[in-house]
């Protein structure tokens, strides 16, 4: 019977037939369904009585209340997960996902074995905490700046699309006006040709009509050429603007990430200084700290220690470099794909429009060509 609850997710379910299903033989079958599927109108081809539905709801009220509570929790969790996914997509669109916290910093130490060992040294823990706080502030600055820049790019793209659509609609409307005037004259011209009894006069009218068709074709093609020039100028301006926006974004992000490298370099120098002092104390037997064996293994000699500190430093710089390369590559690729697609869309639009013009003019010409002058004269 509990499998019936699965059907609650179908919010528009109004009729259900379980006749012949073994569940229909279960005790309290109808009352259970009436209670747990309150929006159902028909069960087994019979309309559900509202009074019986109310009795069923009262009978199973405790179970229904508990179920609704669970459903509410599940719905809230689902909405939260959807919101997080939507938020992540927005952050990815801005190319700053994972920069709204300590993710980048944490990733620097996730695979840094030596760095985690060095954190046991006296003074390194406090140094590391201060380093992390400053590093995360820079990441948050990149994140907030990235969202603002994404909004600027979106406004620029929306404005461009509006300008393009406005130009196209204006051109199309002008073309429609010309076609409307032509078709009004077109009907009169065809009628006049059909009614003409004199062959010479008919040929003159046909010649004039051909001239009108050619004139319409020239007008429509000229209009399209003007639109092409207008859109080309608009596209080129948009391309310059979006490239400038992307370039400024990259330049400023690189500047902020350079600050992260400066922090890392400063931290590296301080850790190396602490490590060398610890090694000297250890050599003199003045070290009061009880270091784990894994940490002591780094202090066998100065070269081993310096190499360990340097390896930790290299891992951190590599993580920063990789994040910068990823951001730059993705935003440049996005910009290139966007501009390329805009140019392709314009080429396709132009081809489609020219085809429409040709087809229309050919149709008008065929109507004229199909006039059987012999039949008209007879």
In the prediction, which pLDDT does 191 show?
Answer: 67
In the prediction, which pLDDT does 195 show?
Answer: 66
In the prediction, which pLDDT does 184 show?
Answer: 78
By percentage, how much of the chain surpasses pLDDT 90?
69
For residue 329, pLDDT beyond 50: yes
- The ranges assigned to domains in the chain are 1-94, 102-373
Helices marked H in the chain? 29-36, 50-59, 61-93, 103-110, 113-118, 124-195, 199-284, 293-296, 302-369, 373-377
Half-sphere exposure (Cβ direction) of 66: Cα atoms closer than 13 Å: 5
Q: How far is CA 47 from CA 7, 51, 111, 174, 244, in A?
A: 18, 12, 66, 59, 67
For residue 377, pLDDT beyond 50: no
Local structure of 98: helix, strand or coil:
coil
pLDDT-based confidence at 376, cuts 50/70/90? very low
For residue 373, pLDDT beyond 60: no
For residue 127, pLDDT beyond 70: yes
Mean pLDDT of 295-305: 88
* Residue 138 to residue 144: CA distance in whole angstroms: 10
- Whole-number average pLDDT of the chain: 90
Give 336-345 pLDDT, tens digit per residue. 999 999 999 9
Residues 6+ apart with CB under 8 A from 37: 4, 7, 8, 13, 16
- CATH code of 1-94, in short, is 3.80.10.10
Task: Report whether 257 contacts 104 (CB < 8 A).
Answer: no
**Element at 297 (helix H, strand E):** none
Distance of CA 91 to the CA centre of its chain: 10
The dihedral formed by the CA atoms of 141, 146, 148 and 153, expressed in degrees to the nearest 10: 160
Task: Report whether 249 contacts 149 (CB < 8 A).
Answer: yes
For residue 129, pLDDT beyond 50: yes
* Residue 156 to residue 243: CA distance in whole angstroms: 11
* Residue 201 to residue 212: CA distance in whole angstroms: 17
In the prediction, which pLDDT does 189 show?
Answer: 67
218 by Cβ neighbours in 10 Å (0-12 / 13-18 / 19+) ranks as exposed
In the prediction, which pLDDT does 194 show?
Answer: 66
In the prediction, which pLDDT does 196 show?
Answer: 65
Residues 6+ apart with CB under 8 A from 260: 104, 135, 138, 139, 320
Q: What is the token pair recorded at 283?
A: 């050599």
Task: Report whether 13 contacts 35 (CB < 8 A).
Answer: no
User: What are the phi and psi torsion angles at 43 (to 5°)?
Assistant: -125, 125
Give 28-80 pLDDT, tens digit per residue. 889 999 999 999 999 999 999 999 999 999 999 998 999 999 989 999 999 99
* Residue 240 to residue 245: CA distance in whole angstroms: 9
pLDDT-based confidence at 291, cuts 50/70/90? confident
* Residue 46 to residue 44: CA distance in whole angstroms: 6
For residue 266, pLDDT beyond 60: yes
Greater confidence, 376 or 130? 130
Task: Report whether 246 contacts 328 (CB < 8 A).
Answer: no
Greater confidence, 266 or 71? 266
* Residue 247 to residue 300: CA distance in whole angstroms: 49
* Residue 175 to residue 353: CA distance in whole angstroms: 11
* Residue 235 to residue 237: CA distance in whole angstroms: 5
Give 207-254 pLDDT, tens digit per residue. 777 888 889 899 999 999 999 999 999 999 999 999 999 999 999 999
Angle formed by the axes of helices 29-36 and 61-93, nearest 10°: 40
* Residue 36 to residue 61: CA distance in whole angstroms: 9
Q: Report CA Rg, the chain.
A: 38
Mean pLDDT of 156-161: 97
Give 77-96 pLDDT, tens digit per residue. 999 999 989 998 999 999 99
User: What are the phi and psi torsion angles at 145 (to 5°)?
Assistant: -65, -40
* Residue 96 to residue 330: CA distance in whole angstroms: 11
Tally of CB atoms within 10 A around 40: 16
């Amino acid at each position: 019977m509990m499998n019936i609850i699965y059907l609650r997710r179908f919010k528009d379910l109004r009729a259900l037939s379980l006749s012949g299903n073994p569940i229909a033989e279960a005790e309290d079958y109808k009352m259970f369904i009436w209670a747990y599927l309150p929006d159902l109108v028909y069960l087994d081809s019979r309309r559900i009585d509202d009074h019986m539905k109310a009795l069923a709801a009262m009978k199973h009220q405790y179970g229904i209340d508990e179920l609704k509570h669970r459903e509410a929790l599940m719905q809230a969790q689902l909405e939260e997960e959807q919101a997080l996914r939507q938020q992540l997509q927005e952050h990815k669109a801005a190319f700053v996902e994972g920069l709204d916290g300590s993710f980048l910093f944490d990733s620097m130490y996730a695979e840094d074995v030596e760095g985690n060992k060095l954190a046991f040294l006296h003074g390194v823990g406090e140094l590391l905490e201060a380093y992390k706080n400053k590093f995360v502030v820079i990441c948050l600055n990149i994140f907030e700046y990235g969202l603002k820049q994404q909004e600027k790019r979106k406004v620029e793209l929306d404005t461009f699309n509006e300008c393009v659509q406005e130009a196209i609609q204006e051109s199309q409307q002008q073309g429609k006006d010309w076609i409307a005037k032509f078709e009004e004259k077109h009907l009169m011209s065809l009628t006049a040709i059909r009614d003409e009894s004199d062959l010479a006069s008919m040929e003159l009218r046909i010649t004039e009509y051909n001239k009108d068709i050619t004139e319409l074709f020239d007008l429509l093609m000229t209009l399209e050429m003007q639109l092409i020039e207008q859109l080309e100028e608009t596209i080129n301006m948009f391309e310059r603007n979006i490239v400038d926006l992307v370039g400024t974004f990259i330049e400023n992000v690189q500047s902020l990430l350079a600050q992260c490298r400066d922090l890392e370099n400063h931290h590296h120098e301080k850790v190396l200084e602490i490590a060398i002092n610890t090694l000297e104390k250890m050599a003199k037997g003045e070290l009061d700290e009880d270091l784990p064996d894994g940490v002591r293994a780094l202090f066998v000699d100065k070269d081993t220690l310096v190499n360990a500190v340097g390896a930790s430093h290299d891992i951190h710089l590599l993580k920063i470099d990789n994040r910068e390369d990823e951001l730059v590559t993705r935003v440049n690729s996005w910009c290139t794909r966007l501009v390329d697609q805009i140019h392709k869309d314009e080429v396709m639009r132009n081809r489609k429009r020219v085809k429409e013009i040709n087809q229309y003019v050919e149709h008008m010409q065929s109507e004229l060509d199909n006039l059987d002058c012999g039949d008209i004269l007879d």
